[in-house]
Amino acid sequence: MESVAAQATPTTGAAASLNFKLILALSMLGLAMSIATVFLIPSSVEPIFWLVIFLVCAYVIAKRAPSKFFLHGLLVSLANSVWITGAHIAFADSYLAHHPNEASMMAKMPMPDSPRLMMLMTGPVVGLVSGLVLGLFSFIAAKLVKRR
């Protein structure tokens, strides 16, 4: 006899071809980076770390995702943006103290007295843009990498 939960959540459509465990696991790199960018990694070298993470994620998505490689990459970056935005808001004072260039940019933006609100508003936008990039990397990697 089928359970009520199984009946209520059909496995057809887009959700059936998404590996949410993979998305969550890869987003743990974003969680690690969210803490590291607050306390350890200066903004001058942060893009290098992100490039490496994107390349690793794209490769893993290409090898392990059942299909919809672009969507997997997009969702990983959106999950990353939740971790990063949350950490930067929670540790805003430390983040701004370690990132004077970002602090001065925020001072010139609307609502300069509300850096946490600015982070909350810009974080998802950055997550979406980086998701488009990781999605593209994942799509290309899926064309180049031999699947298991």
Distances (CA, A) of 142 to 20, 57, 138: 18, 11, 6
As a whole-number percent, the residues of the chain with pLDDT over 90 amount to 61
Give the per-residue pLDDT at 53.
Answer: 97
Answer whether residue 4 shows pLDDT above 50.
no
Average pLDDT over residues 31-58: 94
14's tokens = 């887009």
- Yes or no: say if 80 and 132 are a contact pair by the CB < 8 Å rule: no
- Yes or no: say if 37 and 84 are a contact pair by the CB < 8 Å rule: yes
Average pLDDT over residues 96-113: 79
* The model's pTM: 0.82
Answer whether residue 11 shows pLDDT above 60.
no
